[in-house]
């Protein structure tokens, strides 16, 4: 009797392994999609589009309007390049928290003066209608156009 049960048990174990790996792949896809939202902010700023940068954010983000004004001012005054490295990540099915090291290079459009800034930023993303939106992003001072500005 055990001989007949063994193939059934193996098949059941194989199905469980497939389901577990599918869930892990789903979480990996979610993580990649969430990271893509952070990258989209950087790409939009480099492309001179603060409006596109803000599409990654949910309007419920408490400092949405302040950050929007920072992005608009930076894009109007600087050529922007960024480098983003993930320091830490905490994934859950409907929420991802990422700590990134954001290195920002600002080149003044009038004087070509270059300023480098860097900060570790805590980013919180929530899945809404199948898409990841940034609902937490702090600190935002690195994007303040008046921070450390020298001429």
**92: which 2 tokens?**
């859950």
27-60: pLDDT as tens digits = 457 889 888 999 999 999 999 999 999 999 999 9
pLDDT for residue 115 is more than 50: yes
Check: CATH 3.10.450.50 for 31-143? yes
Distances (CA, A) of 81 to 52, 85, 101: 15, 14, 14
Q: Are 96 and 125 in contact (CB under 8 A)?
A: yes
pTM score, two decimals? 0.79
Other CB atoms within a 10 A radius of the CB of residue 97 amount to 15
- The H-or-E segment that residue 138 falls in is strand 131-138
Spell out the domain ranges in the chain.
Answer: 31-143
């Amino acid at each position: 009797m055990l001989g007949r049960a063994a193939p059934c048990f193996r098949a059941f174990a194989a199905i469980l392994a497939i389901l577990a790996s599918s869930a892990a792949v789903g979480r990996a896809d979610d993580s990649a999609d969430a990271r893509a939202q952070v990258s989209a902010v950087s790409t939009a700023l480099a492309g001179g589009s603060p409006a596109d940068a803000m599409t990654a954010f949910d309007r419920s983000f408490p400092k949405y309007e302040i950050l929007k004004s920072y992005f608009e001012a930076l894009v109007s005054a600087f050529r922007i390049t960024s480098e983003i490295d993930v320091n830490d990540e905490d994934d859950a099915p409907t929420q991802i928290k990422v700590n990134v090291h954001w290195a920002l290079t600002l080149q003044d459009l009038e004087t070509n003066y270059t300023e480098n800034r860097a900060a570790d930023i805590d980013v919180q993303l929530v899945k809404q209608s199948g898409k990841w939106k940034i609902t937490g992003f702090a600190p935002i001072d690195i994007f303040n156009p008046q921070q450390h500005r020298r001429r």
